[in-house]
Chains A and B, each alone.
Chain A
Amino acid sequence: MSFDLNLLLAGTYHDWLIQGLRLSLGMAGITLVLALPLAITVAMFRLSPLRALQWLGATFVESIRNVPLLAHMLFWYFGAPELLPDGIKRWLYAGNIEVLSAIAALTLYTAAYMAEDIRSGIRGISSGQFEAGRSLGFSFLGTMRLIILPQALRVTIPPLVSQTLNLWKNTSIATVIGVGELMYQAAKVESTAFRSAEAFAFATLCYLSVSLILTVLGLLYRRRFPVRVA
């Protein structure tokens, strides 16, 4: 059985795979949009002077990061809907509950990791910077905006880019609850047509290209905005 490139260029299998790629990209995009504000909020909780908020933030991060994404997916797909009232449950099952569960799991998982990157970015800036800003007469928010955040961004963007790369790879795990994303479609081509080489090559190439683009973006950012230390 030789490698049949035409299979990837047109036809049913081509359509399946492209559909999968679209869904993977879509899920990654939506998750990113949802996870970033959540991550910033959790990081602020962890940095706040209030014990209760710190604890809440830490519990969120630790309870999510220490459980595999696959278990999150299983929980959000099989477990969580059972807790909801019947009306909402029926509405959910009528819609695309697989994708919703996957996005819920991906969002929480990604946000937990990003929150830690943001937190350590801000914490890495010495308290002297904060004192210097306040001594010049800047308010708390003014110091944050003009002195702490510009420095924190430079430190934080590169790890956030690699978390986005992880998010991209993690979309593949949604296969487990039957989301028709790229990995699922590749497996479908494999099982229907026994064309594993073509389907997997296509999927691998897609994963790698997006990963490569993200890596290059991270490098460009680092070159454009180098981290400076005094």
Chain B
Amino acid sequence: MIRFENVNKWYGEYHALVDITETIGKGEVVVVCGPSGSGKSTLIRTINRLEPIGSGKIFVDSKDANSAELDINQFRAGIGFVFQQFNLFPHLTALENCMLAPKNIRGMSASDARALALKLLDRVGLSEKANAYPSALSGGQQQRVAIARALAMQPPVMLFDEPTSALDPEMVGEVLIAMRDLARDGMTMVCVTHEMGFAREVADRVLFMDGGRILERATPDDFFNRPQHARAQQFLSDIRTPFR
């Protein structure tokens, strides 16, 4: 479904992604974790070309993400992306946020788009907030609307870039539940997240990154109980025992 082939990326002198080669299968749920600055956000943003890459190739559904002939807009429309900062459109209601792309890109009629948007808002448990503006919603609610907005394009892949990092702790759960339900429905998902409970319960695989490299690829069980790489052991002990 998603394939990285020897991907490198530089910010000037800084080598942000180093020789990334990885394949993510259809229906797979992959959690990417690692310390801050490890390149995990950069990695996920290269998949829908929010970040261009220096060398190598990325394929999504066997389409080359960086080829010049690619219709980038059509390509992106087929990949759902959820941001850390939600990025809901503040001038539109929750419903209108979800209707905007189906109507204007897919050419869906207003009534079809409305029905679809309402169905998706219901799926994330927010049908009663359909007519609220983002400013009237809590962080957790905004992020769930953002998930519904991405789903409205019926993408075969969903990317999550630290979807719960900007949330108050009590709102993290509702977003993770929405993501878990999505995974259970068979969605292909790549999630950059520090939520280890989510990784343990939902992920098929965990990728651990540091210094722009993928240092470890493992099942959640292996990763949490038998981490191989020293940096991964360090990372896990840092997040488990902050007081030493």
- A/B contact in complex, CB under 8 angstroms: yes
Chain A residues packing against B (C-beta within 8 Å) = 126, 128-129, 131-139, 142, 146-147, 150-151, 154, 228-230
- Beta-carbon contact of B73 and A135 below 8 Å: no
Q: Does the CB pair B104–A142 fall under 8 Å? A: yes
Known A-B contacts A147-B89, A230-B134; the reply to A135 vs B105 at CB < 8 A is: no
Question: Interface-forming stretch among B75-83, B112-120, B176-184?
Answer: B75-83
Q: Is the CB of B153 within 8 A of A136?
A: yes
- Neighbouring B residues of A137 by C-beta, 8 Å: 73-78, 101, 105, 153
A228 to B91, CA, bound (A): 6
List the A residue with the shortest CB-CB distance to B75.
A137
A-B CB pair tally, cutoff 8 Å? 73
In the complex, which residues of chain B have a beta carbon less than 8 angstroms from the beta carbon of A134?
A: 50, 73, 76
Ranked nearest first, the 9 interchain pairs of A and B with the lowest CB-CB distance are: A137-B77, A132-B87, A135-B81, A128-B87, A230-B134, A136-B101, A228-B90, A230-B90, A137-B76
B90–A135 touching, CB < 8 Å: no
> Residue among B77, B78, B89 with the most chain A CB within 10 A?
B89
**Chain B residues positioned under 8 Å from A229 (CB to CB):** 90, 135
Name the contact of A136 in the complex, choosing from B77, B91, B134, B142 (C-beta under 8 A): B77
Distance between B191 CB and nearest chain A CB, rounded to angstroms? 16
Decide if B100 is an interface residue (CB 8 Å cutoff): yes
CA distance in complex: A137, B100 (Å): 11
1/0 contact string of B146-187 vs chain A (CB within 8 Å): 000110010000000000000000000000000000000000
Closest chain B residue to A154, Cβ basis: B91
Chain A residues near B87 (CB-CB < 8 A) = 126, 128-129, 131-132, 230
When chains A and B are docked, how far (Å) is the Cα of A126 from the Cα of B87?
A: 9
- Please determine whether B73 and A139 come into contact, CB atoms closer than 8 angstroms: yes
Q: How far is the CB of B167 from chain A (nearest CB, A)?
A: 14
Chain A residues near B90 (CB-CB < 8 A): 151, 228-230
Give CA–CA (A230, B149) in the complex, Å: 15
B87-100 CB mask vs A (1 if < 8 Å, else 0) is 11111000000001
CB distance from B88 to the nearest CB of A (A): 5
Residue B133 lies at the interface, judged by CB distance under 8 Å to chain A:
yes
Q: Does B4 contact A (CB under 8 A)?
A: no
Query: Given the complex of chains A and B, what is the CA–CA distance between A135 and B51 in angstroms?
Result: 11
Contact with A along B43-71 (1 / 0, CB 8 A): 00000101000000000000000000000
Evaluate whether A136 and B83 lie within 8 angstroms (CB atoms) in the complex, with A151-B91, A230-B134 already known: no
Distance (Å) between the CB of B71 and the closest chain A CB? 9
Contacts of B223 on A, CB cut-off 8 Å? none
- Whether B86 is near chain A, meaning CB under 8 Å from some CB there, is yes
> Is B85 in the interface zone, CB < 8 Å from A?
yes
Closest B residue by C-beta to A152: B91
Residue of A nearest to B49 (CB): A134
Query: Residues of A contacting B134 with CB < 8 Å?
Result: 228, 230
Give the shortest distance, in Å, between B82 (CB) and chain A (any CB): 9
- State A150–B90 Cα separation when bound (angstroms): 10
